[in-house]
Amino acid sequence: SRSYRIAVLAGDGIGPEVMSEALRVLDAVEAKFGFTTTREERFVGGAAIDATGHPLPPETIASCEASDAILFGSVGGPKWESLPPDIQPERGALLPLRKHFGLFANLRPGVCLPSLTHASPVKNELIPNGFDVLCVRELTGGVYFGQPKGREERDGEPVAFDTMIYRKSEIDRILRVAFTAAMGRGKRLVSVDKANVLATSVLWRETAVEVAKDFPEVEMSHLYVDNAAMQLVRRPDSFDVLVTENLFGDILSDEMAMISGSLGMLPSASLGKQKEGGLYFGMYEPSGGSAPDIAGKGIANPIAQILSTAMLLRFSLGENEAAAAIEAAVAKAIDDGFRTGDIATGAAGETKVGTAAMADAILARL
Amino acid sequence: SRSYRIAVLAGDGIGPEVMSEALRVLDAVEAKFGFTTTREERFVGGAAIDATGHPLPPETIASCEASDAILFGSVGGPKWESLPPDIQPERGALLPLRKHFGLFANLRPGVCLPSLTHASPVKNELIPNGFDVLCVRELTGGVYFGQPKGREERDGEPVAFDTMIYRKSEIDRILRVAFTAAMGRGKRLVSVDKANVLATSVLWRETAVEVAKDFPEVEMSHLYVDNAAMQLVRRPDSFDVLVTENLFGDILSDEMAMISGSLGMLPSASLGKQKEGGLYFGMYEPSGGSAPDIAGKGIANPIAQILSTAMLLRFSLGENEAAAAIEAAVAKAIDDGFRTGDIATGAAGETKVGTAAMADAILARL
Ligand SMILES: CC(C)[C@H](C(=O)O)[C@@H](O)C(=O)O
Ligand SMILES: CC(C)[C@H](C(=O)O)[C@@H](O)C(=O)O
């Protein structure tokens, strides 16, 4: 039977508790669709700092290297906040993982289901049917990794600098991911840049215009990043796919996630180069953070972790039926009124549940 | 009697029509408070391109140099959108003006009056009392002007780069503007950076911690820019003053303006170094754009331009009473139910007005 290896990095905060629910769901689809996974659970983030002194220990990297994909929980918390940035859980684990595995394409769905518009901070009448945006963020370039980056003394005072840099091929490949995604959806793509100020954005925009020629069915438009930050607030449902560079994607995808109102339901995928056969090595994680304030209480929404598992099945294992089954079961559980605290209103027809009971509801609908 | 010089650059789109209302209000406070202004109207933006071929002609700069302040309308429109970025109305006028006059401190109030929460895209229950944020954006540094910026060929492909750079003294001076503003308001300051990724942000944060020592009464906190983009959506009323670097300020201040729901009411000030006597050379302009779609129809909200004039009176001329009188008259006109289309609901007690009638309502309450 088909068999795969997954590195499981649950991390900190709510990570472990939502991860165990996701693994229960994975067990169920394995049984149902006839494949198996070998899972290696490894330390990452604050948990790894506590155990080994480093947020991304070599054994964790080795385990990821030996796997078909990484299922990631979340990292960080007040306990490690005063460490130097380089060894903090988030930065010290996420950036090296992205760079080491060349995970240049970050796919972040920003979905507000029609039944959950009340949870969005945006007025219901602006999003009568909810919305469904896919944000495609370049994840290994730009000002995150550009050199030179640092500090020196000039004219007797400290001067600090970062370099925002893009090779054309880096822009080209992320745009192709976005155009391809758009082809499988609403065929509308908004490319976000700051071409009125940045040289990197001028190259970005030129490349977008070129790549667009290979996708004549996709209707592409350009937005400046400041305008995009405005339109996301006022008209989130006008977007289909949005593509942008690393730093802008960091800001806009988080803004979009907050606007969806259901941070606890949003998965993400960070993909490397496509392999032969169409699959990707990738890392899959909830869009939200480790939520230390509610960790250990059994009330966190496990859906983001469960849907991240579905993305893993689709993009890294090619188990598309299992992925679709999970997504359908999640949608059904929501339709049937199951609500964790983050998305509950107290309205009639809702059943308020905790982490495990939400997973139970999903399992029952698989 | 006290006498001043003002360079009046109305620009494009709704610029000229809201500017003439602002000048009527200026006439009225001059008469009432006993001072006079000499006004030089000059071309800028698309209008200047059409007249002279350049968005910021030398005679416009000369007129600004000879003035105490610049009252600016807005620039840009579809007619000039396909020009190369450097000579486009927005970029080709705004960036050189900021650089030439050293306008490093951009003050952008983001106000949602309690009576106008319906106009905000954010749910009323999240902002029961509206909100009042002041965004302080560094305006002459960072990735906007940093060198090197450009493009070259490497390994047979184009590579583009921008440099985000800050001297400590540039960070120090904008932080002092923000702390001083906070002292005159709610004494809470959020400093926004990306210190987990950017060297410039690490220097920013260090400097903020140092400057904070000179303002012990101000409660300062730090937010990462991605988190700030989220909090602005969900809890705009939790902010008092927000300070950040140029690019982040571009994105966040526009996001905040959209969240306020009353773009047509938000003024801005871009200030240079404080002069002896406490005044500034500055440029004052509405936060919104030239709104070509409604230009010439007499329906644009003139309040942003009128409140920009009030800021000019306060910061550049020291005519504080006149400034306060304008602000009070605007608040009274809103209280009395006068509404341009952008902020109208059709509720009982509202009088729907156009550009000139809104200015009339304000003039009647001076
Ligand atoms: C922790 C941080 C370095 C990271 C980023 O900026 O990419 C995070 O905000 C994210 O979006 O995954
Ligand atoms: C036109 C553009 C260069 C400018 C900027 O990015 O500063 C504008 O967006 C603004 O905020 O005034």
Q: B68 and B132: one domain?
A: no
Residue A111 falls inside a structural domain: no
Q: Which amino acid is at B117?
A: T
- CB-CB: which of A144, A150, A226 is closest to B250? A226
**Phi, psi for B277 (deg, rounded to 5):** 95, -5
Taking residues A252-269, report their average pLDDT: 97
Q: B227 and B349: one domain?
A: no
At A310, is the pLDDT very low, low, confident or very high (cuts 50, 70, 90)?
A: very high
CA distance B36 to A136: 55
pLDDT at A156: 97
Q: In Å, what is the CA distance from B203 to each residue of A250, B161, B195?
A: 21, 21, 8
Q: B140 and B97: one domain?
A: no
Residue B116 falls inside a structural domain: no
* Residues contacting residue A15 through CB under 8 Å, at least 6 positions apart: A45, A73, A74, A75, A290
Q: B143 and B88: one domain?
A: no
Q: What angle do CA B102, B104, B106 make, to 5 degrees?
A: 130
B273 is catalytic: no
A256 CB near ligand 1 (under 6 Å): no
Q: A194 and A91: one domain?
A: no
Percent of chain B with pLDDT over 70: 100
pLDDT at A340: 98
Q: A271 and A252: one domain?
A: no
Share the mean pLDDT of chain A: 97
- Number of other CB atoms surrounding residue A359 within 10 Å: 24
**Cα torsion through B258, A186, A257, A325, rounded to 10:** 160
Residue B115 falls inside a structural domain: no
CA of B260 to the centre of ligand 1 (A): 27
Write out the two tokens for B344: 């109208």
The 10s digit of each residue's pLDDT in B135-159 is 999 999 999 999 999 999 999 999 9
Write out the two tokens for B4: 């001043």
CA distance A357 to A162: 47
Q: Residue B84: is its pLDDT beyond 90?
A: no
Residue B114 falls inside a structural domain: no
Nearest CA to ligand 2 atom 9: B250
Please identify which of the residues A162, A172, A254, A360 carries the catalytic annotation. A254
CA distance B166 to B163: 10
The 10s digit of each residue's pLDDT in B273-317 is 999 999 999 999 999 999 999 999 999 999 999 999 999 999 999
Write out the two tokens for B106: 């951009």
Taking residues A258-264, report their average pLDDT: 95
Taking residues A310-333, report their average pLDDT: 98
Q: What is the DSSP string of B241-263?
A: EEEE-HHHHHHHHHHHHHHHT-G
Q: B100 and B125: one domain?
A: no
* Residues in B touching A247 (Cβ below 8 Å): 194, 197
Please identify which of the residues B12, B68, B132, B194 carries the catalytic annotation. B194
Q: A288 and A245: one domain?
A: no
Nearest C-alpha in B relative to A96: B197
CB A36 within 8 A of CB A4: yes
SS3 B168: helix
CB A337 within 8 A of CB A357: no
**Phi, psi for B327 (deg, rounded to 5):** -60, -40
Share the mean pLDDT of chain B: 97
A91 in reach of chain B (CB within 8 A): yes
Q: Is B149 exposed, middle or buried (CB count within 10 Å of its CB: 0-12, 13-18, 19+)?
A: middle
B322 in reach of chain A (CB within 8 A): no
pLDDT at A324: 98
Write out the two tokens for A73: 């929980």
* Residues in B touching A230 (Cβ below 8 Å): 254-255, 257-258
- The two beta strands, B188-193 and B105-112, are unpaired
Q: Which amino acid is at B311?
A: M
pLDDT at B321: 98
Domain boundary among the residues A204, A233, A259 is at A259
Please identify which of the residues B4, B12, B68, B144 carries the catalytic annotation. B144
Nearest to A228 by CA among A194, A205, A204, A201: A194
Write out the two tokens for B178: 């923000």
CA distance B199 to A107: 27
CB B269 within 8 A of CB B284: yes
Domain boundary among the residues B240, B259, B278 is at B259
Q: B40 and B150: one domain?
A: no
At A96, is the pLDDT very low, low, confident or very high (cuts 50, 70, 90)?
A: very high
pLDDT at A1: 84
pLDDT at B166: 98
Q: Which amino acid is at A77?
A: G
B332 is catalytic: no
Residue B186 falls inside a structural domain: yes
B230 in reach of chain A (CB within 8 A): yes
The 10s digit of each residue's pLDDT in A175-212 is 999 999 999 999 999 999 999 999 999 999 999 999 99
CB B343 within 8 A of CB B350: no
CB B285 within 8 A of CB B74: yes
At B345, is the pLDDT very low, low, confident or very high (cuts 50, 70, 90)?
A: confident
Domain count, chain B: 2
Which domain does B234 fall in, by range?
Answer: 121-259
Nearest to B324 by CA among B117, B332, B361, B359: B332
The 10s digit of each residue's pLDDT in B181-195 is 999 999 999 999 999
Taking residues A159-168, report their average pLDDT: 98
Residue A16 falls inside a structural domain: yes
Chain A interface disruption, residue of B98, B151, B164, B194, most A CBs within 10 A? B164
Radius of gyration of chain B (CA): 20
Q: A95 and A31: one domain?
A: yes
Region for A278 from its dihedrals, namely left if φ exceeds 0, alpha if ψ lies in -120 to 50, beta otherwise: left
pLDDT at A150: 97
- Eight-state DSSP code of residue B194: -
> CB A168 to CB B159 under 8 A?
yes
Q: Which residues pair with B72 in a beta bridge?
A: B9
Q: What is the DSSP string of A114-157?
A: GGGGGGSSB-GGG-TT-EEEEEEEE-SSGGGT-SS-EEEEETTE
Q: Residue A86: is its pLDDT beyond 90?
A: no
Residue A109 falls inside a structural domain: no
B144 is catalytic: yes
B250 is catalytic: yes
Q: A346 and A324: one domain?
A: yes
CA distance A148 to A273: 26
Percent of chain A with pLDDT over 70: 100
Write out the two tokens for A108: 């972040």
pLDDT at B1: 84
Residues tagged in the binding site annotation of A for substrate: 98, 108, 137, 226
Residue A110 falls inside a structural domain: no
pLDDT at B90: 94
A297 in reach of chain B (CB within 8 A): no
The total number of residues shown for chain A amounts to: 366
CA distance B166 to A83: 24
In the stretch 266-295 of chain A, residues with CB closer than 8 A to chain B read: none
At B85, is the pLDDT very low, low, confident or very high (cuts 50, 70, 90)?
A: confident
| CATH number (domain holding residue A339) | 3.40.718.10
CA distance A138 to A245: 5
Q: A237 and A358: one domain?
A: no
Region for B192 from its dihedrals, namely left if φ exceeds 0, alpha if ψ lies in -120 to 50, beta otherwise: beta
Q: Which atom of ligand 2 is nearest to the CA of B90?
A: 1
Domain boundary among the residues A209, A234, A259 is at A259
At A346, is the pLDDT very low, low, confident or very high (cuts 50, 70, 90)?
A: confident
CB B307 within 8 A of CB B267: yes
Residue with tokens 């007797």: A156
